[in-house]
Amino acid sequence: MRQTRKHLIDNIEIFKTQLLAWSQQFDDVVWLDSNHCKQKYSKYDAVLAVDAFTSIQTDYSNGFNKLKDYQNTTGDWIFGYLTYDLKNDVEQLGSNNFDGLEFPDLYFFQPKKLFLIKGKKLVIKYLNSVINEWQDDIKCIETYSFDGLQKVSDHPIKIKLRTSKDEYFNKLDKMLYHIHRGDIYEANFCQEFYTENTQIHPLETYLKLNAISKTPFAAFLKVSDKYVLSASPERYIKKKGRKIVSQPIKGTAKRSDNYVEDQALIQQLKTDEKERSENIMIVDLVRNDLSKTAKKGSVKVKELCQVYTFKQVHQMISTIISKVKKEVHPVDVLQTTFPMGSMTGAPKISAMEIIETLEDAKRGLYSGAVGYFSPKGNFDFNVVIRSILYNETNKYVSYSVGGAITAKSQPLKEYEECLVKAKAMREVLES
């Protein structure tokens, strides 16, 4: 069904930009880029899938079973996304908040053309029907005239808050009330920043966001008129063979240009009791989720509260692994862990119920996942955070940020943390 060709790349950074620019002619595009971050569990440096041969689009109703059928039927590489609102398929929940983006709840496609980059080696996997195009495509890509970064938008962009600062504090008080009453221990509370009647240049916006962030799970997704421009630092979940890896993030600190101050911020994050307790609660939640499909005794914490440094922030990350049972379908691993613990809370269902009542916007693809399945049923998905979402037809641009609320949360610090997380997106859009 697919044929493989190999090609050596002279200048990888130039080629990656040319490849991504060339891909814009297609309606279906998924670009995943590790930005050369050292990731123990990553197989490729970058991946591009374009041009849908088949696809699936659905709302949340029976969404995971539909995805399972599609993955079984294709038996091939498929790329796409899961929105946060697939929670309504997993549990008896609803999503009734305002939605300016209108992304379908689930979308995957089988690409005609697939590019896998590792170092300077490019592996091309084309469907048989288009394999005779690969050499012409490479020539076109390597001579592709890309004029460089243009304006993000032709007009000034003014960002609005869906939730005012005062409303944020009021809602946080209500969240803390639920925590102190014992309804939940922790919840990820998010707010939306948006602009209406605005047109942006998606590729230029992504390239600028990626340039100032350089995160290991960056993604550019295009589905017709809808775009995801993601500088995500977080892996949701990966499957290789029977091994499952989940790497939740909980705990954020700003960067400093001063080396001594920056090191002090790392140490402060490492020893912050509140941040560590956030992380450990989610580790316990992930362990519980993974145990639903794991071979008995195989769930292990490989890293606990490890601090990693990115261009914009320091992050506290834990790594949990398991060995999945032989009879478990790959989609079942996603269904039993979705939505990811880092974006929900504990207990998970109660946290999601309370989140829905307090947040002012439907999350949609924010705090969902972008990724792929391989023909062998392996997969890798990021968490859609630090991301700009764009509906070109609606002329609606949105990014959301959030943080884990616990009994030790101080509302002003939580709000300031949101602004730190939002800095890169705002900088790119308003520059």
Q: CA 67, CA 107: separation in Å to the nearest integer?
A: 9
**Cβ contact 173:189 at 8 Å:** no
- Whether residue 151 lies in the annotated active site: no
**Cβ contact 50:29 at 8 Å:** yes
10 Å CB burial of residue 297 (0-12, 13-18, 19+) is exposed
**Cβ contact 32:371 at 8 Å:** yes
Looking at 113, 208, 226, 250, which residue is catalytic? 250
Task: Count other Cβ atoms within 10 Å, centred on residue 326.
Answer: 7
Task: Count other Cβ atoms within 10 Å, centred on residue 125.
Answer: 20
Nearest in space to 303 (alpha carbons), one of 286, 291, 288, 289: 286
Q: Which residue has the tokens 């696809």?
A: 55
Looking at 234, 275, 359, 414, which residue is catalytic? 234
**Cβ contact 230:218 at 8 Å:** yes
Positions annotated as catalytic residues are 234, 250
